[in-house]
Amino acid sequence: MYAQLKLELEADDIDYKKSSNLQGILMENIDTEYAGILHGNQLNPYSQCLIRENGKNIWCIKTLTEEAYEQIIQPMSEVKSVVFKKSGRDVGVTKWQMDRCEERELLDEFYDTSCPKYLDIQFMTPTAFKQDGRYVIYPDLRLIYGSLMRKYSAVSGELDMIDEDLLNQLVDHSSITRYRLQTILFPMEKTNITGFVGNISIRVHGPETLARYVRLLLRFGEFSGVGIKTGMGMGAMRYNRREPK
């Protein structure tokens, strides 16, 4: 089960730059033993980010498994305020919203619903990848698909997406047809990471099945995030649905 908890924060002057602080606040509000397990994971079953939506600052906490939902979202849904330790500032939570989606829903859509050849992605917080020890700060389709396939396979009970042949097919039959991007810094405790935000459009050539695979990954990515540091607030993405003509 995938889930998302949106917490509306009672503050207009905080933004994504506080995301890494929010990860610390999250860890303080969940079971200590489970927090220790998360610190040891290579691929976390959650992501979180701070976004601006309808003029409000929204803290989004997303989980990818039933256990993560119970251990993270359930306790965080009881939080009435968040305290930033360095400044001592106490920020109230004014609204809570929960959304859930079963993995089966994504698979049913994959098998039963036609898919357009053009798919649009919005990168809402700084996004980056790491390849051969170096940061990649632009949207490379192999890195986008590969990141989402690894995250999906780590939590899926239905479908293993660790498939080099499938990845090659998706890359060979996809192209970025439009983009509007900018680089932006994501501050961490002792350093900054450069990432990108903005929008891209992807065209999938060839069989519609390949477009359906891409859609499945993008819908999953709305919960998992894409690229590095998604638990700290990077890599938040949205699949923008196109209305059928």
**Per-residue pLDDT tens digits for 223-235:** 999 999 999 999 9
The model scores a pTM over 0.85: yes
Same domain membership, residue 194 and residue 90 = no
Tell whether the model's pLDDT for residue 158 goes beyond 80: no
Burial of residue 195 (number of CB atoms within 10 Å: 0-12, 13-18, 19+):
buried
Over residues 181-221, the pLDDT tens digits come to 999 999 987 889 999 999 999 999 989 999 999 999 999 99
> What does the pLDDT read at residue 225?
98
Residue 73 covered by a domain: yes
Residue 227 covered by a domain: yes
Residue 163, domain CATH: 3.30.70.1900
How long is the chain? 245
Check if the beta carbon of residue 126 is closer than 8 Å to that of residue 138: no
What lies within 8 Å, CB to CB, of 53 at 6+ separation is: none
pLDDT band at 171 (very low <50, low <70, confident <90, very high): very high
Compute the distance between CA of residue 200 and CA of residue 119 in angstroms, rounded to an integer.
8
Over residues 74-127, the pLDDT tens digits come to 999 999 999 887 777 899 999 999 999 999 999 999 999 999 999 999 999 999
Tell whether the model's pLDDT for residue 11 goes beyond 90: no
Identify the domain boundary among 101, 129, 155. Answer: 101
Tell whether the model's pLDDT for residue 244 goes beyond 70: no
Check if the beta carbon of residue 75 is closer than 8 Å to that of residue 129: no
> What does the pLDDT read at residue 126?
97
Q: What is the domain range of residue 210?
A: 103-240
Residue 245 covered by a domain: no
Same domain membership, residue 139 and residue 57 = no
Same domain membership, residue 194 and residue 93 = no
Start-end of H helices in 156-228:
164-172, 208-224
Same domain membership, residue 178 and residue 71 = no
Between 226 and 240, residue with greater pLDDT: 226
> What does the pLDDT read at residue 185?
96
Check if the beta carbon of residue 51 is closer than 8 Å to that of residue 124: yes
Residue type, 2: Y
> What does the pLDDT read at residue 243?
62
What lies within 8 Å, CB to CB, of 23 at 6+ separation is: 48, 231, 232, 233
Same domain membership, residue 150 and residue 93 = no
**In the chain, % of residues over pLDDT 90:** 80
Same domain membership, residue 21 and residue 107 = no
Tell whether the model's pLDDT for residue 51 goes beyond 80: yes
